[in-house]
Amino acid sequence: MPPHLLEHLAASDNPSVAAAARRTLIADASARTARVLPRAAAAPVGAPAGPAAPRRTIHDAGHRTALPGAKVRDEGEEATPDATVNRAYAGLGATFALFRDAFGRDSMDGAGLPLIATVHYDENYGNAFWNGEQMVFGDGDGEVFLDFTLPVDVIGHELAHGFTQYTANLEYFSQSGALNESVSDVFGSLVKQHALGQTADQADWLIGQGLFHPDVEGTALRSMKAPGTAYDDDVLGKDPQPAHMDDYVRTSRDNGGVHINSGIPNHAFYLVATELGGHAWDRAGRIWYDVMTGGTLTPETRFSEFAAATVAAAKARYGDAAEIQAVTKAWAAVGVPTD
């Protein structure tokens, strides 16, 4: 959840909305600080013998903040009466399935990392996050945000921060931080598309669709197809994401605008995927995956360096074919040089 949204809500005339947003901002402070701190990727755990399969555990925080909370569902157990628990379980599975089926990766670390999640975190908590070890989901305030397990791409987005942690480990600040956020949006969107069996032209390319209360004037948190158009609401404000480097936002807030400027690489991926057609994970997703796992990025990678790496990855995998032309054309369309 971008902090600028919560800051808008904290100034709301609605006391309950403002109080929930302030509570969420306070609770987020430690999680966001932990993400900013430089951290080497953790050592992979040993993978289980046999075909790759998820190892999921869901806990219930009981509206408190102690993690992980009480265990309520383990891998292979039957669904519970709690729909939030079951959505979290299914979302972890959908994310695992994308990385296994599309890229041959065994969990976020590539070596069978157990997938742990906590639901019902805190009271009226309007966010979800990966804390370096597990997923955490709030229930929302019920007036602006609904349950954060509702959009499967939000689950995929946050788990993909774990994927980044174990691969390029992009620093969570400025352009590298915006790339960190964008990579999570890319793979979060692919999780949703893979789960629904959608092609690039069938996908809505929205992140967090279904998270807003019906009274909110907005469709999602972000749009990869049209950054800056996801919402325009009296309480939330207007979506500030740019789609082109001409509109890059220079700010000291939000760790240098990581949630805002991610719209630029997001749109580049959308353009590649729709230019190539078919399932976006087959070619566009494979190029982005190769970049993240190829060992050429540094934690401080900037947009132009990432763009150049996608061109190199496209050429290495596909040669001088449609894929490299689509990648080059997409980055040019968002104003990012590739050489």
By DSSP bridging, strand 56-60 and strand 115-119 are: parallel
Asked whether residue 150 falls in the same domain as residue 191, the answer is no
pLDDT at 42: 47
Do 192 and 64 sit in the same domain of this protein? Answer: no
Looking at 166, 201, 220, which one is the last position of a domain? 166
CB neighbours of residue 278 within 10 Å: 12
Q: Report pLDDT digits (tens) over 210-219.
A: 999 999 999 9
Give the pLDDT score at 20: 67
CB atoms within 10 A of CB 92: 26
Q: Is 309 within 8 Å of 297 (Cβ atoms)?
A: yes
Determine whether 4 is an active site residue: no
Identify the domain boundary among 166, 193, 221. 166
Whether 162 and 48 map to the same domain: the answer is yes
Range of the domain at 225: 174-333
Q: Same structural domain for residues 139 and 198?
A: no
Alpha carbon distance 57, 155 (integer Å): 14
Of the residues 4, 120, 158, 275, only one is catalytic, namely 158
Q: List, for the chain, all residue ranges whose pLDDT scores fall below the cut of 50.
A: 36-40, 42-49
In angstroms, how far is CA 12 from the centroid of its own chain? Answer: 27
Is residue 159 domain-shared with residue 181, that is, in the same domain? no
Per DSSP, which regions of the chain are E strands?
56-60, 70-74, 115-119, 128-130, 135-137, 206-207, 222-223, 232-233, 237-238
| Residue 33 within any structural domain of the chain | no
User: The domain that contains 105 carries what CATH number?
Assistant: 3.10.170.10
Residue position matching structure tokens 């980055």: 331
pLDDT tens per residue, range 255-297: 999 999 999 999 999 999 999 999 999 999 999 999 999 999 9
> Are residue 131 and residue 210 in the same domain, yes or no?
no
Looking at residue 46, what is its pLDDT? 44
CATH number of the domain that residue 214 is part of: 1.10.390.10
Are residues 328 and 196 both part of a single domain?
Answer: yes
For residue 259, being part of any structural domain is answered with yes
Q: Which of 166, 182, 207 is the last residue of a domain?
A: 166
Check residue 246 and give its pLDDT: 98
Catalytic (active site) residue 259: yes
Q: In which residue are the tokens 């934690």 written?
A: 299
Whether 52 is covered by a domain: the verdict is yes
Q: Is 269 helix (H, G, I), strand (E, B) or coil?
A: helix
Same domain, 50 and 159: yes
Euclidean distance between CA atoms 242 and 229, whole angstroms: 10
As for how many domains the chain has, the answer is 2
Residue 286 falls inside a structural domain: yes
The reply to whether 305 falls in a domain is yes
Q: State the catalytic residue, choosing from 259, 267, 279, 323.
A: 259
Q: Give Rg (Cα) of the chain.
A: 19
Neighbours of 7 (CB within 10 A): 15
In a domain? residue 225: yes
> In the numeric block, which tokens belong to residue 216?
């909110």
320 located within any domain: yes
Beta bridge partner(s), residue 56: 115
Residue 35 belongs to a domain: no
Which residue reads 């996050």 in tokens? Answer: 129
- Given a contact cutoff of 8 angstroms between Cβ atoms, the answer to whether 302 and 248 are in contact is no
